[in-house]
Structure formats: structure tokens, C-alpha cells
Structure 1
Amino acid sequence: MKITPVLALGACCILICSAQAAKSRTYMDTITNKQRVLSFYKQIVGQRKTELIPEFIVEDYKQHNPTVKQGRAGIIEMINYLKTLPPPPEGAKSPIVRSIQEGDFVVTHLDVQFMGKHMAVVDLFKLKDGMLIEHWDAIQPLPDESGKTVTSTNGTAEIDHSALAENSKLVVAQFYKAIIAKQSANQFIDTAYVEHDGSVFASGGGLVKYLSQPERAIKIYRLIAEGDFVVVQSQFNRTHKTFVFYEIFRVAEDKIAEHWSVEQAIPDRIQPEDMF
């Protein structure tokens, strides 16, 4: 496998995860899919325990990152590469900022600083019977955000489980239905909503206007919700390029109250559908 800068940074982004360690197999059989994924980060990636990979990853693991080999072999190769890097510093803060689960899907949102690079990352995993069977991701370099009150990844992190995921998902689905139909969508945005996407700031027109740009040609693949958080996996076009686009919405009182995103250009040699 060719180790590219993006792959190296993407792999290293989870070196310092501090998720709770897995316990016995009996315990592992009863924990949630989210806990299972966090244990994968901790034990396989953070602690580089390649011997535990068969307990987490199916043999025919499907990988949608074109820089990583398919199957369990791709994970083994990645972890062996990580073993050549310096270990994470003792007591380092976990880069995992948010984790969202719906059924067999688990999404993690990470803030990564590595070798002078600052990255925002979204990982999406699909599980079956407690085993990871499929993976998608996007990695976006970030500018220097030191001193800013609102950054690309800060803000609300705890999920409000008193909120109904079905309702949160409906709000976002209706919002995007209006966007795609070129209809008014401002009614779904709270007047005090917090925007974390620097591109939206740069556009000067707010989230609705930014997403409504005619050249975007949005195609939505998945909506995943837990409590008041909703993740949208989609693609869009810009300057004759197709991008993978992950958005995280926080919904409060039937309005979009907060918004984050991670985007990554799809390589020219890759068909967009292969990354979804």
C-alpha cells in the first residue's frame, strides 16, 4: 500500500484516542455499537493491538477509502504502519469530539492535530453482530483557528437523549428537501444558530444560500440520527470536482441550532459511488 500524506494523517488522527477499553468477550457481546467502535479506536488503533483485529473486523471488511486496501488485510497493514510512528504522549486528549449512533451505523467526528497539521475527520462505520463490516470517511485540512470563539469542531458535544431522533431527522430531511427543490428553507434555521463551517462564513450568505448554489448538485446518501444530532452523508460538486460531504446538525425545538461539516474531494480516478 502506498502511504500518502492524507492516509498517514488520517491514520494518525486516531492514535491518541482515549475511549474506554474493552473488557471480556461476554461484556463485548452486550455493549452498544458505539462502545464497540470506541473500543476499536482504543485497542486496535491507539494501542496498535493487531492480534485483536479478528475480534473487531470481519474478513471481508468493505473499505470506501481508496487509499486503504479492502478487507481485514487493509486494517492490519494500516496498524503495522502506525507501529513505525512514535507512540502518543501520555495522557493525550482524545481527538474524538462527537460520536453518534443509529442502529448499525456509528459516526465519529474528530479534531486532529498532527505534525503541524490540523484536520477535521468524520468516520462512518457499519456493524453487524458487533463486528465492523464497512467504513467510510472524509478528511479536511483546517486553517489556524487559534483565538477563535467558534471553530470547525468545538461547540455542543453531548447528545440530548430526551430529544426524539426521528423528529430531529425529520427536521433535517425537510430542510434538505426544500434546498434540493429550490424552495425556501430559512424557516428551519434558528435565528441564533451557530455555524462551524468556515466555507459558509466565507460565502457571506448563510447556510441556506450556501447549500442552494445551483452548481452543487447535491445527492444525499444517508441520514443518521441520535437524540438531537443528525449526520448527513452526501456528495456535491464545485469547480468541476465532486466532493464527499458530511454534515452534523444539532436540532433544538424543531430548528437547526448548530452545524458542522467535513468535505473531501473525490480523486479523479475514483467513481463517486465507490466512496459511498
Structure 2
Amino acid sequence: MKPTLAETNRALVLEAFDTLFNKRDYARAETLWSPEYIQHSAHIGPGRDGLLDLTKALPTTLRYENAVAAAEGDYVILHGRFSGHGLPRNWIVADIVLVKDGLLVEHWDVIQDEATHLESKSGRPMFGTAFAPEPAQ
């Protein structure tokens, strides 16, 4: 059975994030993000070059872990964790990606520092089943 458009786009976005953030394969990443890529994130420069330049400037310890990937038509929403970026806290991120013709063409995100057990009013972790370690004082 042929995958739906949503299933195909979901797999594409997960591959793109792994390719860029974990494998650091910039040549392959350029084939996954549109040359006319539109960036809405306040943390990333404009276009595909802004995204690639940011990633190249981050430590090689950067990692992306995905917890949830949902797709409907041309839109894919990811819930993930970025770690190893050189900041004191991991980032828990909701990414929204628009896919057209097999390319990532537009992106929005919501980024939040990962809370520790002591900070969590709900008593539940923001990502997965375990809390982030308490930051060093």
C-alpha cells in the first residue's frame, strides 16, 4: 500500500532533522530544505543559509531526539529535545514544518528550556519519562 502524503512528509521531516542536526550532513541537508526556505524562528537567521549557518556554529555534540511526529497533508509537527548545544539547559521544542514537493519550505517553532523535577509544578517531565538533571549551581 502506498504511503499517504502525510506519512511521506512525516518521514521526510524526521530524515531532514536527523540529517542536519545529528549527522551534520550539510550537502544532503541542502537537498531537503528548499533554496527559498522561509524561517519564522526568532533564534535562526533567514532562509536555508541561516539554518545551516546556525547548525555549523553549534558544537558537534548537538543532538536532536524526537518524541512525537504528527502530520496532516503538507504540515508536520514535531515534539523534540535539542541537547548538547552548549547552553545550560536542553531545549524542548515544538517544530511546525510546511512541506511542498518533497522539500521543507517553511518553519515555525516554540522553544522552552527543559524543566527539572524541582521546577515541574505538574510533577511530570516535559520530554520522555525522565526529568533533566538539576543544573549545576
Q: Structure 1 residues 74 and 112 mapped into 2: Cα distance closer, same or farther (>3 Å)? A: closer
The Cα of 1:130 is off from its aligned counterpart by: 1.0
> Paired residue for 2:12, among 33, 36, 40?
36
> Paired residue for 1:97, among 64, 67, 74?
67
Larger relative contact order (CA 8 Å, sep ≥ 6) = 2
For 1:113 and 1:80, locate their aligned partners in 2 and report how far apart those are by CA, in whole Å.
15
* Residue 60 in structure 1 maps to residue 36 in structure 2: yes
For 1:76 and 1:127, locate their aligned partners in 2 and report how far apart those are by CA, in whole Å.
18
CA contact (8 A) 2:115 2:126 kept: no
For 1:145 and 1:112, locate their aligned partners in 2 and report how far apart those are by CA, in whole Å.
18
CA contact (8 A) 1:60 1:70 kept: no
For 1:54 and 1:119, locate their aligned partners in 2 and report how far apart those are by CA, in whole Å.
24
State the match for 1:152 in structure 2. Answer: 126
Report SS of the residue matched to 1:42: helix
For 2:81 and 2:21, locate their aligned partners in 1 and report how far apart those are by CA, in whole Å.
16
Return the index of the structure with the highest Cα Rg: 1
Unaligned 5+ segments in structure 2 are 1-6, 130-137
The Cα of 1:35 is off from its aligned counterpart by: 0.5
After TM superposition, the score normalised by the length of structure 1 is: 0.39
For 1:34 and 1:51, locate their aligned partners in 2 and report how far apart those are by CA, in whole Å.
21
State the match for 1:10 in structure 2. Answer: none
Unaligned 5+ segments in structure 1 are 1-30, 156-276
CA contact (8 A) 1:50 1:79 kept: no
RMSD of aligned residue pairs (Cα, Å): 2.6
> Paired residue for 1:69, among 29, 45, 50?
45
The Cα of 1:112 is off from its aligned counterpart by: 4.1
